[in-house]
Amino acid sequence: MKQRILLAVLLAVAAVVGVAPVARAATTVRIMALGDSITAGPGCWRAKLWHSLQTAGYTSIDFVGTQSDGGGCNPGYSYDFDHEGHGGYSATGIAGNDQLPPWLAAARPDVVLMHLGTNDMWGGYIPLQDKLNAFTKLIGQMRAQNSAMKIIVAQIIPMSAAACATCPADVMALNNALPSWAAGLSTSQSPIVLADLWTGYDAVADNVDGVHPNDTGFRKMADAWFPVLARALGGSTTPPTTTPTTPPTTAPTTAPPGGACTATYRVTSQWTGGFQGEVTVSNGSSSASSGWTATFTFASGQTVTQAWNATVTQSGATVTARNAEWNGRITAGGTATFGFLASSTGTNTNPAATCILTTG
């Protein structure tokens, strides 16, 4: 009798296990968001996508990467901060410098979401085939790390003509070339699928500067990623309709101690007569900030012509950057990054950058 009861229990357990969806299985799926500043700073589409996945029942997932936004999106709900977004990086640069393999080795993803190509558009001097060749090399490096890697490649969001005259057409050319490129490389073991982030996205209304998304843009990105990623996870492709909770409005009252803020300046790319730079503001205190200001002074006549993720002004040689409305809160140990384009006519020496955190 005991043997019959035991057999019945085992059969019942087997039946339950047999019908469990892949996406909700006990095994945690490691997902890497690979990209540039659209993914990194602050890349709040990641927070929105995480929330949509959790709400839809995809809880056995882990966003992975060597980078963390430290909770800078502050959406009013918890999310996984980890990612592989690098402000100012291009697909051709990452491929040419073999930067991806150590990131993959550290993160060990099962799925990669790749939104790359924006920084390959500036100036219109990189041929389309070079961009596709870079994508192909990156796919090979992903498969060298994991032969069963599932790869989701974005048809990237548009750039406005005001931001870059040649970029809208070049973005469209890349996006139009991706379907046949992906079909030629996709395998049953390591499928490549596209996520259409371009259709329905307005380069002016959905971006803060013609390049980087505002909150509406981030929402559109998350909604476009969701069905493709859900399909890769083996579940429903309908995103949840639950409205996110209202972000907290109470600011911390304890001011960070003096010297708690550090700013790191770097040039991410450079060309004749101009360059792209970024500054990372780090909160080294034990409490969150409600705002921040970074300053630096150029030494050789450089002039900022465009900036994103901060309100940037320049008086003479001194540049002052104040947080945007959505990234003033930096958690203890967290960071916020802003980028800019600038003109230069001579030596482009990196200036020393400083910053101040505020509360209240």
Tell me if 356 sits within 8 A of 322, measured CB to CB.
Answer: no
Residue that the structure tokens 């073999």 belong to: 98
| pLDDT higher than threshold 50 for residue 105 | yes
Distance of alpha carbon 295 from alpha carbon 354, whole angstroms: 5
Q: Which residues pair with 297 in a beta bridge?
A: 318
Tokens linked to 229 = 């990623």
User: Is 0.75 surpassed by the pTM of this model?
Assistant: no
Tell me if 224 sits within 8 A of 155, measured CB to CB.
Answer: no
Tokens linked to 331 = 């958690």
Q: Provide the pLDDT for residue 245.
A: 36
Distance of alpha carbon 239 from alpha carbon 53, whole angstroms: 8
> Looking at 49-53, 177-181, 239-243, which range is the least confident one?
239-243
Distance of alpha carbon 341 from alpha carbon 302, whole angstroms: 10
Q: Provide the pLDDT for residue 237.
A: 47
Q: Provide the pLDDT for residue 21.
A: 36
Tell me if 276 sits within 8 A of 267, measured CB to CB.
Answer: yes
Distance of alpha carbon 226 from alpha carbon 52, whole angstroms: 8
Q: What is the DSSP string of 35-97?
A: ESHHHHSS-THHHHHHHHHHHTT--SEEEE-SEE-TTTT--SS----EEEE-TT--HHHHHHT
Distance of alpha carbon 152 from alpha carbon 345, whole angstroms: 41
| pLDDT higher than threshold 60 for residue 259 | no
Domains and CATH numbers, the chain: 21-233 (3.40.50.1110), 261-358 (2.60.40.290)
pLDDT above 70 as % of the chain: 85
146-160 per-position pLDDT tens digit? 999 999 999 999 999
Confidence band for 24, pLDDT divided at 50, 70 and 90 = very low
Q: DSSP E strands: which ranges in the chain?
A: 29-35, 61-64, 67-68, 82-85, 111-115, 150-155, 192-196, 261-271, 274-283, 291-297, 303-308, 310-315, 318-323, 335-343, 353-358
| pLDDT higher than threshold 80 for residue 12 | no
Put the strands of the sheet holding 274-283 in their side by side order: 261-271, 274-283, 335-343, 303-308
Tokens linked to 7 = 């057999």
* Residue in 100, 91, 87, 161 with CA at minimum distance from that of residue 120: 91
213-244 per-position pLDDT tens digit? 999 999 999 999 999 999 999 854 455 544 43
Alpha-carbon distances of 57 from 32, 71, 83, 225, 236, rounded to whole Å: 19, 22, 21, 16, 10
Confidence band for 180, pLDDT divided at 50, 70 and 90 = very high
Q: What phi and psi values does residue 54 have, to the nearest 5 degrees?
A: -65, -40
Q: Could you tell me which residues come within 8 angstroms of residue 183 by beta carbon, excluding any fewer than 6 positions away?
A: none
